[in-house]
Structure 1
Amino acid sequence: MESKRNCLITHASGPKPRCDTRVKKQVTMDYLKNKSEYFSLDTDFKPLPKYGHLSEKTPEYIAAEPAIDAVQSRFWASPDFAAFRRAAGDPDAAMPPGGPDRYRDITTELLQFPARDGHLIELKVYKSQNVAPNATLVYRMHGGGFVVGRHEVDGAENVYAATNPNIVVVSVDYRLAPEFPFPRPVEDCYDGLLWCKENAKALGINPEKIIVAGSSAGGNLAAVMAIMARENGIAGIIAQVLHFPAVCHPKFFPRDKYEYGSYIQNSENPVLGTLRMEAFLNAYNPNPEPDYRHSPLIADSLANLPPALVQCAGFDVLRDEAFAYAEALKLAGVDVEIYGYQGVPHCFPAVLPTHPSTPVFYKRYNSFLEKYATISAEEN
C-alpha cells in the first residue's frame, strides 16, 4: 500500500471514471419518510432560550425562499441518489458579487491517489497564480450529506482560500453513501490526508501546516480528521474550519448538556429540513453505533485539538449542534471562533450569494485562514 500511495497521477480536466471493483448494491429510494425517527415535529414547539431567536428569517431570505424551495424540490424529486447526483452535477460554483475571479485569479488541477483498497480517489487542487512555495495546505471535504456533491459544492470557499498565495487548497472526492456508507467516506478522507502529507513536495505545501476544512457533511469530516490525526499521532494539523457542521447523530446527541431545538424549530427549511437530513443520515449510517468518527461531539476527549472556526446559520436544523461543538471545544481548552447568522438557511453563502451576511461570512473565513496560513521567512 505504501508504494501505491506515493504515486502521483495527473489529469488535465474532467472527472475520471471510477475503477472500484466492488459490486455496488442497487439503491431504491423511499428515502423521505413521513415522520421523523428522532424528533416530535407535531408539537407546539416554543423557541429555546439560547439560540431560538436566530430562526427569525431575514427579509432577503423570505423573498428568496420560494425560488430556493423550487430548486431543492426538483433535486429531491429524483427517484434515487444516483439520479439526484446527476441532476445536481458539479458545475463551477458561482462567485458572489465582488468576489474573486476564479478564472483569472486561480488555477485548478485534477489529481488522483489510491485509497487503502486501491480505488483511485480524485483530488482537485486550487491555487493562486502567484502561489508561494511551501504553502499551507487547506484540505477540503465537500458537503452534500455524505450522499451527493463533489468539489464544487464548496467551490466558492475553495476559490476564496486559494486567492491567498500562502495557501494551496486540495479538495477530496471521497466515495458516497449509500453505495459506500460509513466509515468508507471517513477512510477515503483520511487516506487523502496522509497522501497529501507524503506528497507535500509535489503539491508545493508544507506537510506540517495543514488546515482541515469543510461545510455541512464536510464540516463533520473535517472535525473527524482533526481528532483522528490527534489519535494516530499525525502532526501538522494547525487549524480547522467547520462551516454548518453536522457533528452528532441525533440518536446520540447529549440533550442533557446542550440546547437542541433547531431540528424541530427549523424542520421545514427547504435547503435542509429535518426529514431530508434524516434521509442523508440513514443512507450514510443506517445502523449507527456510538463512534466519534461520525459524531465527533461524543468523542471521549476534545482536548489538544487545533483552533477552530465554526460558522452556522440561524434557520438551519444543524444550528444547535454547531453551537454545542463550539462549546465543547472551548470547555476542552481549544481556541474557538463561533459565529451564528440570524435568519438564513443552511450553507446560505452558496444559495444566497447577495445576502448582506454573505460578505461577512467570507471576511471571517478569509481572516481566519490568513491568521494560520501566513508563511514566515524561515519557512521559505
Structure 2
Amino acid sequence: MIIAYQYRLKPTKHQQDKIDHWLSMLCAQYNYLLADRFRWYEENRCSINACPLVCYLPGLRDNPDYYSQKKTLPNLKKTHPWYKEIYSQVLQDVVKRVKLAFDRFIKGDSNGKRSGRPRFKKQHRYRTFTYPQMKEGCLEGNLINLPKIGKVKIVLHRPIPDGFKIKTASITKKCDGYYLVLSLEDKTVPEVKPDINPDSIIGIDVGLKEFLTTSEGETVNIPQYYRRSQKRLRVIQKRVSRRKKGGKNRLKAIKQLGKQHKKVADKRKNFHFKTANYLLLKYDVIAHEKLNIKGLAKSRLAKSVLDAGWSSFLAILASKALNAGLLAIPVSAQNTSQNCSNCGKRVPKKLHVRWHDCPHCGCSLDRDHNAAINIKNRAEGQSVLKAQRLLSDSRTGWEAYTEPARSV
C-alpha cells in the first residue's frame, strides 16, 4: 500500500534561497526540454491529406525521448556549471515530467484521453521538485536530510506509521511557505480488506442544496466556503488591481490574495476528508454517481459546483476506501432522479421540483433521497460486489462447517 503524508517545512534563510534558486533553474531546464520536443514534433509531423507537392524537408533527426534527453544532462553541467549544485536525481526527474506531459498530449492516458498542449512554465508556476529515491534513516526526529540542501526542520504533526518506508520526497513552495510530501509504502498491508461486509452498503447522491444525501435519508449540509469568503476576496482583489504592475506592493497584495484562496481550499479539503472518514467508518461499501463534473463546471451552476468540490471529494473517498481495504463503487448517473426507487418506473420532473411523488405506486420522498436509493440499488448489481458477496458467503459456510458442535 502507498500513502502520501504532507508536512510543513521550516528551512533556514540560506536553505530557502537554495530551494528558490533550484526551482528557477529547473524551470528553465523544463522549458528547454519541452521546446526541444516541440521542435522535433513541428519539423517531422505532416498530415497525409495536406502534404504539399513542393515543400522544404528539414534534416531528420531522432525523436527526443526520455533516455536521449537524460543523456544530455552531463553535457549540461559542463556548459552550465551552476547546474552542478542540483542533486542529479532531481534534475533527472525534470526529464520525466516533460515525458509525462508530452505523452499525455500525443498518446493520451491509460483510458486514451488526451490532454491539451503542454505550456511553458513561468517561474512562479514551477513550484515543485522531487527526490525519486530517499535513503533509509533520512528522517531524524524533527529533521529530514535532503541531499545537497542539508537537514531541514519539519513540523511532524503526525508520525510515520510503523513498517512504512519513505519512497519519494517532494518539496513544494506555496504562498504561505514550503511543504514536504512523503510517499510511503508498505508491501505487508493488504490492498483489500479480507473481511469486508458486502451487505454494509450505502448510496450517496451529491447535490447543491445538501452536499450529499444517503440512501438512509441522512443529509450533510454544504458549507459553501468560497461564497462565504467572497466579500474578503473582493476587497483583496481590488487591492491587487489598484497596485502598480511590477511593484513590490502589488507582489505583497498578490501574496495576500493567494493566502486567502489557500485558506478556502484548505477548509474545503478538511471538510471532504472528515466527510469521507465519517462514511467509511460506518459502511464498507459506498456507491456514488459517475458524474461529468467538467461539463457541469461549464454550466450556469459553475460557481456552486466548483465551490462544492465534488471531484475532489470523490477522489478522496476512492483513495481512502482503497487504503482502508473498502469499496467505493461508481455507477451510472442516468435517470437516478427521474426513476422511482420503489417501482422503478420513470417519473419526469424538472430541476426545481425537489420532491418525488410517484403516481404509479404512491412513493413519496425527497428527490435526493430517492436518487440515493437508486444509486444503492444499481451498485448491488455490480459484478465486483456480487463477487465479494459470494466470497463472503463461501467463507461463512466454511466456518460453519469447521465449527465444532456445541453441547446443549
Q: TM-score, normalised by structure 1?
A: 0.20
Select the structure that is richer in helix: 2
Which of 1 and 2 has greater Rg?
2
Q: TM-score, normalised by structure 2?
A: 0.19
Of structures 1 and 2, the one with the larger relative CO (CA 8 A, separation 6+) is 1
